Structure 1
Amino acid sequence: MHVAIVGAAGMLGRKLAAALAAGVPIGGVAPTRLTLVDVVPAPAPEPAAVPIMVRTADIARPETAAALIATAPDILFHIAATAMGQADSDFAAGYRINFDTTRSLLEAIRTRDGGPLPRFVYASSIGVYAPPFPALIPDDFPVRPDSSYGVQKAMCELLLDDYARRGFVDAVGLRLPTLAVRPGPPTFGNSGFFSNIVREPLAGREAVLPVAPTVRHWMASPRSAVGFLLHAAALDGGVLGAERTLTLPGLSVSVAEELEALERIAGPAALARVRFEPDAVLSGAAYPAAFAADRARALGFALAERSFDDVLRFHIEDDFG
């Protein structure tokens, strides 16, 4: 089974690649070949139980997407994206990365020179939704983005539906919760602070909390996100019907609950490294607090964590240091 990951140099792509390189199966079948693609060289996981090909390529270019599809991947994970901050501050880059890449891949699959359809797993986002939010957001809540990032993701979801309806692709889209704790350097704006306020103190560094402790948001660990992707790759596409994208389970966590977990796991000294400095824009934003995710749960999507304490422990086990 040939598996390709577009966006393999990013945080989630690296974690997914590591799992597949270690031989984690998809639907009971272990990969026999792995292709990692990104605009910068993706690190090849070591040790690896399967051959790995690393390709540095801009998949927004139709000819590059076609060359990838010509290698006949059985499963294609499309995780490449630029975050909301860049997508909204650099309009052209947002559309090129978040939309053109998806359309180029789908067109390459549609126009390929024969062979079976690959399973196409697309990483979307709860950023397709906009306020006002009910306390519990149902699966049929309208997709009505209020950001360029959200519009780009919603457009890609519609493409999945249309290409699947026409029989051009076997696709499933996943509206991922905000992922925390994200490893790496701090990110600023939008939802990055949900990771910053616990990751930095765990590493002995100060962090700025820009919103009130009462702010509540829908989150999942990167470990859960990898599990979602692997589960989606093995899902029977026939059960999805016309709507190919699912809103996924998560944890409804307040900032105060994050900080309480931080103190339980790392002690008062870690909590003392968090400094409250309100940001007018972030404090005024509306964050979706909880999703029903009934459809995804019924299809077997489940979290790896049961609490935010688990999320912190996963981060320490997988990424700390």
Structure 2
Amino acid sequence: MHVMVTGAAGMIGRKLAERLGQEGALAGAAITVLTLSDIVAPPVPAGFAGAVSRVTADLAAAGVAERLISARPEVVFHGAGVVSAEAEMDLEKGYHANLDGTRMLLEAVREVGGGYRPKVVFTSSCAVFGAPFPDVIPDDFHLTPLTSYGTQKAMCELMLADYSRRGFLDGVGLRLPAVCVRPGPPNKAASGFFSAIIREPLAGRDTVLPVSEDVLHTHASPRATVGFLIHAAGLSRDVLGPRINITMPGVCCTVGEQIEALRRVAGDAAVARIRRAPDPLVERIVAGWPHRFDAARARALGFVAESSFDEIVRIHVEDDLGGRLPA
């Protein structure tokens, strides 16, 4: 099986490639070729026995998607794009990376024709929903995004569903909650503080909390997120039906509850490294996001997330800190 990952240099793309390389199989089939694409060179997963092709290019640039798809990968994990605050602050960049890149990819698949119909797993976002919200967002809640990022993701969801309906590909879109705790340096996501208030104190560094502690959100770890993507690749169209864009499960809690989970895992000294500094832009963006999801359909389809935020903190310690808390 030939598997392709776009956005493979990003945190989720990198962890997905590592997992695919370790397991060497997907949906019961051995992976023989792994194509990794991003605007910077993606790392090669250690221990993978098959062939690895790395493509360093802008997916939305002319000819790039056609070149990638010409090898006819059976499964495409499409995660390339820019994050929420970056898409909000730079309109042209957001539409270029998030919408144009997806359109180029799907068009390249369509143009191959000849019965080629790959599985395309798209990383969408719960930012496709917009206020006013009920207490719990049901699976069939309307798409009325209040940010450019959410708008771009919603447009891609519709295109994915239409190309699947027409038989050009077999698509599934995953509306991810906040992925937390993200390792590595901070990115430009408006949701970045959800990870920073855990990651930085655990690394012995001070960090800033730009919103109130009563902000409520839903989270899933990078480990669970990679699990979502891999599980989605094995779902048939008969199981999914025509509603191929699905809201993923997660742990719903307030920022204050996140901080208390950090305290239980790492103690008062870690919590003392969090400084409050309100940021109006981040507060405005976060205020337009949904908070709690029913996600009954995802759970019925076998998607599994964590059961507590304490578990999410411990997963970060296990997966990214070598299982040890800093002194």
Q: SS of the residue aligned with 1:190?
A: coil
- Residue 226 (structure 2) pairs with residue 201 (structure 1): no
Q: How does 1:159-308 map to 2 (within 5 A)?
A: 159-187=159-187, 190-284=190-284, 285-286=286-287, 287-303=289-305, 305-308=306-309
Counterpart of 2:138, as a letter, is: P
Structure 1 residue 272: deviation in Å?
A: 0.8
Describe the superposition over 1:163-220 as per-residue Cα deviations: whole angstroms up to 9, x where unpaired.
1111111111110111000111234662111111111000000111122211110111
- Residue 311 (structure 2) pairs with residue 310 (structure 1): yes
* Structure 1 residues 41 and 122, CA gap change in structure 2 (3 angstroms): same
Structure 1 residue 62: deviation in Å?
A: 4.2
Describe the superposition over 1:92-114 as per-residue Cα deviations: whole angstroms up to 9, x where unpaired.
11111001111111111111053
Matched residue count: 320
Aligned 8 A contact 2:86 2:188 in 1: no
Aligned 8 A contact 1:187 1:196 in 2: no
Structure 1 residue 238: deviation in Å?
A: 2.0
Alignment match, 2:4: 4
Counterpart of 2:44, as a letter, is: A
Segments of 5+ residues of structure 2 without an aligned counterpart are 323-327
Q: Percent identity?
A: 52
Segments of 5+ residues of structure 1 without an aligned counterpart are none
| Aligned-partner Cα distance in 1 for 2:128–2:105 | 21
Alignment match, 1:105: 105
Bigger shift: residues 8-17 or 157-166? 157-166
- Superposition TM-score, scaled by structure 1 size: 0.96
| Aligned-partner Cα distance in 2 for 1:283–1:62 | 37
Describe the superposition over 1:117-170 as per-residue Cα deviations: whole angstroms up to 9, x where unpaired.
110110000011111211111011110011111111011001011111111111
Structure 1 runs (4+) deviating above 6 angstroms are none
Structure 1 residue 320: deviation in Å?
A: 2.2
Counterpart of 2:238, as a letter, is: G
Bigger shift: residues 264-273 or 45-54? 45-54
| Aligned-partner Cα distance in 2 for 1:138–1:167 | 28
- Superposition TM-score, scaled by structure 2 size: 0.94
Counterpart of 2:249, as a letter, is: P
Structure 1 residue 61: deviation in Å?
A: 2.5
Aligned 8 A contact 2:5 2:77 in 1: yes
Aligned 8 A contact 1:62 1:108 in 2: no
Describe the superposition over 1:238-286 as per-residue Cα deviations: whole angstroms up to 9, x where unpaired.
2222222101111101111111111111111101111122233434542
Aligned alpha-carbon RMSD (Å): 1.5
